[in-house]
């Protein structure tokens, strides 16, 4: 009688891409793949929960999503692995037909810039997204008030990152409130006009306030 020893093969294990991120409004696609495989017997086949059967796939989720891949070896043994793709919404309005993008500028100030300027900022060390800010924070950008000096009406143009109620409050040089108007706005560009004809000639300043937080201040001159 002759004895035989059958060695059990090493278990099949795999690692996949970690830390993949999609930036809505700028880089909306991420690549994920099976990075390493140990154990089992080649060749290997792949099947993602998206239906794709390649080692690497391109994905474009609109919210943070987990993608699962099943790896099967030549003996029919299989294992699964999960790749999480995080989604960060960096949109902050529009520039023409294109998105504007939130950038953390020099690590301390969130700015909203046209998409074509993003690469230049990233090259100089800025990062995509706000500077550790609340994702629900309303950002008011590109504020323009004109004419200034003005006689009767003040035109206001700006961009908002989301729908909000905005207070436009005017104070005189002594700090007394002399005018206030609340406007419900939608995400994107807004234009409005304030009738300040009742104000006397002199120096004033305008505060743009959202949820009790002063977003912008502009000095005004009434002729």
Q: Are strands 164-172 and 177-185 parallel, antiparallel or unpaired?
A: antiparallel
Residue 9 has pLDDT above 60, yes or no: no
13-87 and 140-222 have identical folds: yes
E strand spans, the chain:
13-16, 20-24, 30-38, 45-48, 56-59, 65-72, 78-89, 91-95, 98-105, 109-114, 127-128, 140-146, 153-160, 164-172, 177-185, 188-195, 202-210, 213-222
pLDDT value for 1: 56
pLDDT value for 133: 56
Phi then psi dihedrals of residue 220, to 5 deg = -125, 155
Residues 156-202 have pLDDT tens digits of 999 888 888 999 999 998 888 999 999 999 888 899 999 999 999 99
140-222, CATH topology level: Immunoglobulin-like (2.60.40)
pLDDT value for 204: 93
Bridge partner residues of 112 (DSSP): 102
What are the Cα distances from residue 120, in Å, to 23, 91, 105?
A: 17, 17, 12
pLDDT value for 206: 93
Residues 70-102 have pLDDT tens digits of 999 999 999 999 998 988 888 887 767 777 888
Residue 136 has pLDDT above 90, yes or no: no
Residue 69 has pLDDT above 90, yes or no: yes
What are the Cα distances from residue 123, in Å, to 100, 107, 117, 157?
A: 18, 14, 10, 30
Rounded Cα distance between 202 and 180, Å, is 18
pLDDT value for 173: 83
The architecture CATH gives domain 13-87: Sandwich (2.60)
pLDDT value for 146: 93
Nearest C-alpha neighbor of 162 from the set 193, 132, 130? 130
The structure's pTM equals 0.56
Nearest C-alpha neighbor of 58 from the set 85, 36, 79? 85
The residues spanned by each domain of the chain are 13-87, 90-128, 140-222
Residue 46 has pLDDT above 90, yes or no: yes
Bridge partner residues of 217 (DSSP): 207
Bridge partner residues of 13 (DSSP): 38
pLDDT category at 135 given cuts 50, 70, 90 is low
Q: Exposure of 55 by Cβ count < 10 A (0-12 exposed, 13-18 middle, 19+ buried)?
A: middle
Residues 139-159 have pLDDT tens digits of 888 889 999 999 999 999 998
Residues 14-38 have pLDDT tens digits of 889 888 889 988 888 999 999 999 8
Residue 47 has pLDDT above 90, yes or no: yes
Residue 5 has pLDDT above 60, yes or no: no
Rounded Cα distance between 89 and 118, Å, is 15
- Name residues whose C-beta falls within 8 Å of residue 213's C-beta, 6 or more positions apart in sequence: none
pLDDT value for 199: 94
């Amino acid at each position: 009688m002759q004895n035989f020893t059958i060695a059990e093969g090493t278990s099949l294990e795999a690692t996949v891409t970690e830390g993949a991120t999609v930036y809505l409004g700028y880089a909306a696609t991420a690549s994920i793949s099976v990075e390493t495989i140990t154990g089992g017997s080649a060749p290997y086949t792949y099947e993602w929960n998206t239906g794709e059967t390649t080692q690497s796939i391109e994905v474009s989720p609109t919210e943070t999503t987990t993608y699962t891949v099943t790896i099967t070896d030549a003996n029919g043994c299989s294992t699964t692995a999960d790749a999480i793709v995080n989604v960060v919404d960096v949109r902050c309005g529009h520039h023409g037909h294109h998105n504007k993008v939130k950038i953390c500028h020099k690590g301390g100030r969130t700015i909203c810039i046209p998409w074509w300027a993003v690469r230049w900022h990233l090259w100089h060390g800025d990062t995509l997204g706000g500077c550790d800010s609340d994702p629900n924070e309303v950002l008011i950008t590109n504020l323009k008030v004109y004419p200034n000096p003005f006689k009767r009406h003040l035109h206001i143009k700006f961009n908002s990152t989301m729908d909000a109620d905005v207070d436009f409050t005017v104070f005189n040089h002594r700090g007394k409130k002399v005018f206030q108007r609340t406007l419900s706005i939608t995400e994107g560009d807004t234009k409005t006009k304030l009738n300040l004809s009742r104000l006397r000639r002199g120096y004033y300043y305008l505060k743009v306030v959202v949820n009790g937080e002063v977003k912008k201040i502009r000095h005004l001159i009434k002729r």
